[in-house]
Amino acid sequence: MSDPALPHLHLHVSPAGNDHWSGRQPEPAGDDGPLATLAGAQAAWRLWRRSLAGHPGQVTVQVQAGDYTLARGLVLAAEDSGTSGAPLVITGVSGEASQVRLLGGPEVTEWQSVSDPAAKARLAPGALKQVRVADLQALGVSDFGQFKPRGHGQAVAPSHLELLADEQPLTLARWPQASSLPNHGFALIAEAVGQDGFSSREPLPGPWARPEEAVACGYWANDWGYNSCQVASVDQARGLIRTLAPHGVYGYRPNGRFFIANLLEELRGPGQYYLDRQAGLLYCWPPTHATADTAYRVSVLEEPLVTLHECQHVKLHWLSFLASRSHGVRLQGTDLVHKHSLP
């Protein structure tokens, strides 16, 4: 519980704010008003605490409803700690976490019909009328991330660029298509070919023009050990797929289950997307629930949206964390943190 006898700094953050303002009032008024970012609020409360010359004081940051796209993650360190009687409180003011969104990437709004002849030739029959394309580089996005090895036995690593529609992640175009039919959308390994490859029991469709842009995902040897690794090459005629190191943790074994993702030729249904990494073009077949108001967003930030490093007595209320390639919130050497309504 807060101590009412302690000095108390109230700061306000708003999409209509300015980090050159004091942040002491919730609405703009003349040359003052709310701050624009949590980083601006952090600079303000640190300065205020220094003025207390070591005496305790409570900080409450009230964040107005809206979207806050972070170019860098917010890092709360030991100097940002509160105390049991004066915690650091960062809270949305709306009482609904969905109203205050901390975001790790921009919205994609400029979608066009596919006009490039080479891309049109690669799309499956029936897809051309459904698929739309956006130029990410025109949006200022040029870092698409990497298909880093992920899964069992692999270190935690940032994800590749992902596409979300109304806050829900879409699916990379893949072969085989996800299905509830036999093998549940997986193909089966026929046999291992050296340490870096395997052949498919099912014939590979094709040709795939850009297999080096794809990622191979599967339960290569055991049904409890999922891994992903980048594709090096595909020999469609032989049904042979080779991968870049590190390969599956336990190697490739017959009847291991797998699928290949990020293939424009396999963009065949709603809620799927493909990224042309050479041209920076994002192709999407909108999900079935999409409307003219559906908001599309890509993940860009490769660090947690908020990190608490050796920071104590913090309350995070009514905030949602979206569209990061890393964690929403990371705790390091930290306890006494109260989180409420974090998705």
pLDDT at residue 1 greater than cutoff 60: no
Region 14-24 average pLDDT: 97
Region 160-182 average pLDDT: 90
Farthest-apart Cα atoms in the chain, separation: 78
- Can you say whether the dihedral through the CA atoms of 201, 203, 209, 215 is positive or negative? negative
- pLDDT score at 161: 97
Comparing CA positions, the residue from 34, 38, 30, 33 lying closest to residue 14 is 34
Q: What Rg do the C-alpha atoms of the chain give, in angstroms?
A: 24
- 295 beta partners: none
**pLDDT tens-digit map of 100-135:** 999 999 999 999 999 999 999 999 999 999 999 999
Place of tokens 């590749």: 160
Residue-averaged pLDDT of the chain:
93
Q: Provide the pLDDT confidence category of residue 339 given band limits of 50, 70 and 90.
A: low
- pLDDT score at 181: 63
pLDDT at residue 91 greater than cutoff 90: yes
Region 4-31 average pLDDT: 94
243 CB contacts (<8 Å, ≥6 apart)?
Answer: 196, 197, 216, 229, 230, 231, 232
- pLDDT score at 180: 58
Q: Between 334 and 327, where is the model more confident?
A: 327
* pLDDT more than 70, % of the chain: 96
Distance separating alpha carbons of residues 10 and 157, to the nearest angstrom: 37
E runs forming strands in 141-287: 150-151, 163-165, 168-169, 171-172, 174-175, 187-193, 197-200, 215-219, 227-235, 240-243, 257-261, 272-276, 281-285
Helices (H) and strands (E) in the chain, counts: 2, 28
